Amino acid sequence: MTVQSFKDVAADRKHEEAREIREALFGQCRSILEQLGDDVSGFALVVWDRRGDLRSSYDTGHGPLRPALVPTLAGDALNRHVALDMATPTDELSRS
């Protein structure tokens, strides 16, 4: 049996964490799409890596929202979501 190097352990951890994030991303996307059903008409997506490098994608599809509105719409929606998450105690916080 060989001992894994620090770099190998770090690479394995990075790979596992990325897999978990991808699963969470796909799960959230499926959940949102199930909630909206056939009423989906666009999306905005922002993904970042461990260094903070960003990638984004959007599609205004069909409907009233045009590309110029996407940054404000996405920012407002995320601000509300994060504020709600911060105001809602988690199991760990409620135990302390």
Of residues 80 and 93, the one with the higher pLDDT is: 80
Q: Is 41 within 8 Å of 61 (Cβ atoms)?
A: yes
pLDDT in tens, 81-92: 999 999 998 755
Global pTM value: 0.75
Render pLDDT for 27-56 as a digit per residue (tens, 0 to 9): 999 999 999 999 999 999 999 999 999 999
pLDDT for residue 7 is more than 90: no
User: Can you give the pLDDT at residue 1?
Assistant: 47
H or E element, residue 25 = helix 6-36
